[in-house]
Structure 1
Amino acid sequence: MDTTVTSEKAASRDAEPDVGAASWLQSRLIAFDEIVAVVEEYAIFTMTPSGEILDWNTGAERIMGYRPEEVIGQSNDCFFSEVERVGGVPQGILEIATRDGSFTGEGWRSRKDGERFWGHVTITALRSPEGEVQGFLQITRDLTQRRVTMEALRQSEERFRLLVEGVRDYAIFMLDPEGHVMSWNIGARRIKGYEQDEIVGRHFSIFYPPQALEAGVPFKLLALALKEGRAEQEGWRMRKDGTRFWGHVLITPLFDHSGELRGYAKITRDLTDRRQAESLREAGRRKDAFLATLAHELRNPLAPILPGVDIILRSPGDPEKVAGVASMLKRQVDQMARLIDDLVDISRITTGKIELRKAHVPLSEVMERALEAIKPMIDRQEQQLELDIGIENPVVDADPHRLAQMLSNLLSNAAKYTPSKGHIRVSVTPDADEDEMLKISVKDDGRGIAAEFQQAIFELFDQGGSGPAEGLGIGLTLVRSLAEMHGGTVSVASGGEGQGSEFTLLLPILVPGESAAGTVQTTAAQANVSAALRVVVADDSRSAADIMGMFFRMEGFEAAVAYDGEDAVAQAKVLHPDLVVLDLGMPKIDGFEACKRIRKLFPQAVMVALSGWGSREDRRRSSDAGFDEHLVKPVSPDDLRAFLASYFKKSRRAG
């Protein structure tokens, strides 16, 4: 059969069916019925070069809805919409198949009843041995269900993407298996401050502060997520601008169907406000506990004082009993004074009003003062105290009073937490890491400190999880603050509960053996003041004024007592004082005004201010008002005697 398509045949193709091509196709596809006619999953049929349908299998009838007699001889454009037919889509597809040998595509097609289905279509050009297109084979598969499923999945993914991207309260983003940021939602932009193009591709460790990076926290979290299936943590995180926020983080690994790690989902929530609220609640709880403890601690020394005073009043003729009770009263008053001093010092430190009076001071003198303060407590508990001074005549640049306070607080802490007959060891050595630092260690074999409390133990009012009921929880806070003010540090080490503790104080040291010239030394003055010296004491607290007047008389002064500023001036006019001690907060006229008036009358008198405040500003105000000295309440007898010794020498030189 001549399969050459002549120009006449080509011209008449649109006018009448191509009988030659149809015959060729029939001869080539004679076994169509036996091979594909019964296939139900695919619509398989052949067409002439112009698109008329030549045969029709069972699958085509099922998918398209046409019976063979309804469609054979019809054009294939019946499967297309009117818009597609007008647009030449059916013919265009055949032209592509003719040009390229085949056409493959997916799209909406129409069934006989007008219902649309999503079809996957392959049209293959059938050629004669000479290469002339003699017709087409079309195979169509109904993928409507897959299309619906995929579209539902796409819409679900789209909704999820919009949901994630629109969340403002959570930073939700993806990481690749190495931890690089792959996606970024609006919550991440709000919380962390980065725009998407600034952060995608960068490693998520950028969100962690230096301390966490040094500890390897980001990488440990990824490892934990892989091991446990999730990793959850709260901690400080960094924003783009360098500010910190308290974040709750959840990291979940993501695997594909084959079990291969594809990355991580990371959700971060900013809990800074909640943490601040919790901190305020915790501060309130600790304040309440502190006030309850303070009341308890102040009642303890008061309990023996009241009956002790009664015993003294009822036993004036029994010096031995009076002396014993007086010794007890002094210990209790000293305890109350230490509590009040600690409270005042904490207040001054937190408000920045505390001052250091540094000097080159031999450590031995300060150590002796600290040991003297704590020795009665150690003796009562029969504890063994060992000293190991591994450096000869160390001299430190420090405030001797504050240094003694730090050492006595550390010793008191060790004695308090060490059982009866326990051991306390104090060692002094040069610091191995810092040549110019002195290392003072106070080690005990007492109760010890659990690891979770070893940092918080220095916080205000915190006594640790195993702390006793007594104490205010401010001693170690004072030690830390004073150490830092001296340019040093304090730290703690403990193996845990029942394994003792070691507190280490590092302070700047001078050259060993360096002269201690300029050292402040406080020595008790001998009660040897001339009886010719006269003093006026004024305080609106009658008990305080009377006791201080009694003290000065016992020291050999002629003393007059006043209870307000006007009375103090009147007493001074009568007594012509050498020394005037004035409380600053008195009625009628205060201590400042009384000082000015007495100074005009008696320019040579030594004027001493008494106050519960001792900051630089307080001292400046008293100095501006004309006072020579500023003493902070409560003033101990030894401090007064030291002051009197200095005054006595001054007055004798002047005479």
Structure 2
Amino acid sequence: MSDSPHQMTPPPPEDEVSGWLRDRRGHFDQLVSSVEDYAIFMMSREGIILDWNRGAERLKGYTAPEIVGRHFSVFYSDEDRQSKFPDKELEIASAEGRFTVEGWRYRKDGTQFWASVTITAIRSESSAVEGFLKITRDLTEHRATDEMLRRSEERFRLLLESVQDYAIFMLDPEGHVMSWNNGARRIKLYEENEIVGRHFSIFYPPEAISIGMPGSLLAKALKDGRVEDEGWRVRKDGTRFWGNVVLTALHDSKGELRGFAKITRDLSDRQQVEHLRETGRRKDAFLATLAHELRNPLAPMLPGVDLLLHAPHDVATVTGIASMLKRQVDQMAHLIDDLLDMSRITAGKIALRHTVLPVREVVDTAVEASNPLIREFGHRLTLNLQDELMIEADPYRISQIISNLLSNAAKYTPPEGEIALTVSEKPGPMLEIRVTDNGIGIPKALQHSVFELFDQGASGSSGGLGIGLTLVRTLVEMHGGSIALFSAGEGQGCEFTVRLPVITTSAPAATGETPVIPSAPRSGPARILIADDGRNAADILGLFFQMEGMETAVAYDGEEAVKIAANFEPDFAFLDLGMPKLDGYEAARRIRRMYPRVILAALSGWGAEDDRRRSAEAGFDVHLLKPAKPDDLREVLRQHG
């Protein structure tokens, strides 16, 4: 061999190399002497270096004369030599045929490099180990790149894990959770070991799962690269939050789908602010509508009263104006009743009074209440009813549900429209109430809000306060039922379907009314005492009872009412509850002590259960809401006269 540093150098003494191995070194010289990218050399059974190629010289810094004949442990650290790690490598290679490792190695000048080392045992035909082939590759740059990437990934992982405001995690191509950060833990309440491996649809409410939303989001992200969505999401404890979600498809360098990145932000606070703003806007619209609706009946009433004053003897004029005044007062009373009902529902003060009765009675009452509005618009109402059905429910509230739905249909259907009311039995058994119309319809984007308080439909108010459908939904739910809306869209009409578990086979319950003994046998007209600090209200009631043929006395506070009663000996006393000097409760107690058989009727603007209970405890026989309707006043006289 030549003495060139790049040529294989003379071997060590013959007694250090087996004859079998010496015979094969020529092949090695021819193959690897000029290889520069790898350090390749042969070693004896003891680890003595026998050969040295160009790659070894370039990589380790030794020339062939400097290293051949030395033990290969020269490339290892002091710690490795003390632990006899080089000898262990040869032992493993001898036992297993091959040993591979990566680690720090040293050059001649003491510098380190990261090496990939493979030591292969060389065996004779008899399988005896005759020596070793050692191949070393410098992976310092590769390791530096890997380390940089590892540190970058570690920094990114720490960054993601430390993010608290966003749930950031990975999904596999089928949608199963693969990773979990602190933000996800905080927002969704799952620990990593509880959620990894589960399908991400667990975060969606049942109504979203029923329409296949999770799968459709994955499909859209796969098709478009990403998808963004907002909606209700579900935490581990079952509570909901309003989430903004960005789902991004992840592909490798070959374009194959590796999974999805999912980022979720809890926007519940923002949603609540938006909800409050929307509620405020609706309340403003409600107050404007309320002012408008109350002015509507007042507008004809004021000139009507003026005409009565100027033409008191014109019977036709007085009759016409009186009818108009009655209609307008009824309209105002209806608006006020709706407001009071909504207030009671909000305060949880409505209690249902269940009675067994034919559904026909409830429907007739509802239709009668809605007919004036239906006739005003010239609509045609079609009624389909199973007459034999019996229900156990609050008849007033069921009637209110039906009349509100009919009135809603009348208001939002152009003149001479078609309205249908169908009442039937469905499996369950369930009472199904369906109201359909061919009116203006509701765009799909607005259908979710029609049952919200103060919502007045797609076209704004058409008369009313925007609380009718809210009342309907609340009363339906109080009866354990459900309500659904269907509209094909604007101009396509509406269909409201109510289902109530109120059908029964029981017969109507007896009323069990106890007859009231009149205050005293009398041959003349009944004596009526009216007391109200509102002088006009008191005087009008006195005039009404006079026109009904009764003998009347009027007081303007509770104290005066008690004094008048002492001499007047009333059969009936209609007392306002909120009078000065002596309120209606105490006045009733004192009058009752004087006349145990007198019929006491409370007049109040409040009609909740607590209000009625308090008046009953004070001794009142009847509780009437102000303004008291003439028919209600007559009914009191009829029942107790």
TM-score, with normalisation over the residues of structure 2? 0.86
1: CA distance, partners of 2:447 / 2:92: 80
Amino acid aligned to 1:392? D
Question: Aligned pair in 2 of structure 1 residues 503, 99: CA closer, same or farther (>3 Å)?
Answer: closer
In structure 2, what is the equivalent of residue 297 of structure 1?
293
1: CA distance, partners of 2:153 / 2:438: 64
In structure 2, what is the equivalent of residue 552 of structure 1?
545
The answer (yes or no) to whether the contact 2:360–2:387 under 8 Å persists in 1 is no
Q: Secondary structure at the match of 2:441?
A: coil
Q: Decide which moves more: 302-311 or 544-553.
A: 302-311
Q: Residue 453 of structure 1 is aligned with which of 446, 458, 472?
A: 446
1: CA distance, partners of 2:130 / 2:359: 114
In structure 1, what is the equivalent of residue 6 of structure 2?
none
Amino acid aligned to 1:138? K
In structure 2, what is the equivalent of residue 8 of structure 1?
none
The answer (yes or no) to whether the contact 1:442–1:503 under 8 Å persists in 2 is yes
The answer (yes or no) to whether the contact 1:359–1:519 under 8 Å persists in 2 is no
The answer to whether 1:444 aligns with 2:440 is: no
1: CA distance, partners of 2:478 / 2:338: 16
1: CA distance, partners of 2:59 / 2:151: 27
C-alpha displacement at 1:551, in angstroms? 1.0
In structure 2, what is the equivalent of residue 420 of structure 1?
415
The answer (yes or no) to whether the contact 1:395–1:516 under 8 Å persists in 2 is no
In structure 2, what is the equivalent of residue 351 of structure 1?
347
2: CA distance, partners of 1:509 / 1:98: 90
Q: Residue 582 of structure 2 is aligned with which of 589, 592, 603?
A: 589
Structure 2, unaligned runs of 5 or more: 1-10, 514-521
Q: Secondary structure at the match of 2:450?
A: helix
In structure 2, what is the equivalent of residue 524 of structure 1?
none
Q: Secondary structure at the match of 1:407?
A: helix
In structure 2, what is the equivalent of residue 373 of structure 1?
369
Question: Aligned pair in 2 of structure 1 residues 530, 272: CA closer, same or farther (>3 Å)?
Answer: farther
Q: Residue 467 of structure 2 is aligned with which of 466, 469, 474?
A: 474
1: CA distance, partners of 2:503 / 2:123: 103
The answer (yes or no) to whether the contact 2:289–2:461 under 8 Å persists in 1 is no
Amino acid aligned to 1:353? K
1: CA distance, partners of 2:611 / 2:99: 98
1: CA distance, partners of 2:162 / 2:62: 49
C-alpha displacement at 1:607, in angstroms? 1.3
Q: Residue 607 of structure 1 is aligned with which of 581, 600, 605?
A: 600
In structure 2, what is the equivalent of residue 523 of structure 1?
none
Matching of residues 319-338 of structure 1 within 5 Å: 319-338=315-334
Amino acid aligned to 1:433? P
In structure 1, what is the equivalent of residue 143 of structure 2?
147
* RMSD of aligned Cα (Å): 3.3
Q: Residue 569 of structure 2 is aligned with which of 555, 563, 576?
A: 576
Question: Aligned pair in 2 of structure 1 residues 506, 104: CA closer, same or farther (>3 Å)?
Answer: closer
2: CA distance, partners of 1:602 / 1:131: 129
Matching of residues 192-203 of structure 1 within 5 Å: 192-203=188-199
Q: Residue 156 of structure 1 is aligned with which of 141, 149, 152?
A: 152
Q: Secondary structure at the match of 2:549?
A: coil
In structure 2, what is the equivalent of residue 411 of structure 1?
406
In structure 2, what is the equivalent of residue 42 of structure 1?
38
C-alpha displacement at 1:590, in angstroms? 0.5
CA deviations over 1:304-354 (Å, ceiling 9, x no partner):
222222232233343333333332222222111110011111112222322
The answer to whether 1:566 aligns with 2:559 is: yes
In structure 2, what is the equivalent of residue 56 of structure 1?
52
2: CA distance, partners of 1:372 / 1:498: 28
1: CA distance, partners of 2:605 / 2:359: 29
Amino acid aligned to 2:72? N
Question: Aligned pair in 2 of structure 1 residues 440, 204: CA closer, same or farther (>3 Å)?
Answer: closer
The answer (yes or no) to whether the contact 2:411–2:462 under 8 Å persists in 1 is no
Question: Aligned pair in 2 of structure 1 residues 452, 517: CA closer, same or farther (>3 Å)?
Answer: farther
The answer to whether 1:117 aligns with 2:113 is: yes
The answer (yes or no) to whether the contact 1:293–1:469 under 8 Å persists in 2 is no
C-alpha displacement at 1:134, in angstroms? 5.7
In structure 2, what is the equivalent of residue 463 of structure 1?
456
C-alpha displacement at 1:90, in angstroms? 4.0
Question: Aligned pair in 2 of structure 1 residues 226, 601: CA closer, same or farther (>3 Å)?
Answer: same
Amino acid aligned to 1:168? Q
Q: Residue 630 of structure 2 is aligned with which of 628, 634, 637?
A: 637
C-alpha displacement at 1:85, in angstroms? 3.6
Q: Secondary structure at the match of 1:331?
A: helix
The answer (yes or no) to whether the contact 2:425–2:431 under 8 Å persists in 1 is yes
Amino acid aligned to 1:351? A
1: CA distance, partners of 2:27 / 2:131: 16
The answer to whether 1:190 aligns with 2:203 is: no
Question: Aligned pair in 2 of structure 1 residues 317, 556: CA closer, same or farther (>3 Å)?
Answer: closer
Amino acid aligned to 1:414? A
2: CA distance, partners of 1:76 / 1:401: 103
In structure 1, what is the equivalent of residue 392 of structure 2?
397
Matching of residues 503-518 of structure 1 within 5 Å: 503-507=496-500, 508-510=502-504, 518=511
1: CA distance, partners of 2:31 / 2:603: 119
In structure 2, what is the equivalent of residue 651 of structure 1?
none
Question: Aligned pair in 2 of structure 1 residues 503, 98: CA closer, same or farther (>3 Å)?
Answer: closer
1: CA distance, partners of 2:128 / 2:17: 13
C-alpha displacement at 1:539, in angstroms? 0.9
In structure 1, what is the equivalent of residue 535 of structure 2?
542
The answer (yes or no) to whether the contact 2:369–2:403 under 8 Å persists in 1 is yes
Question: Aligned pair in 2 of structure 1 residues 19, 453: CA closer, same or farther (>3 Å)?
Answer: same
Matching of residues 200-239 of structure 1 within 5 Å: 200-239=196-235
In structure 2, what is the equivalent of residue 7 of structure 1?
none
2: CA distance, partners of 1:124 / 1:484: 82
Q: How many pairs align?
A: 621
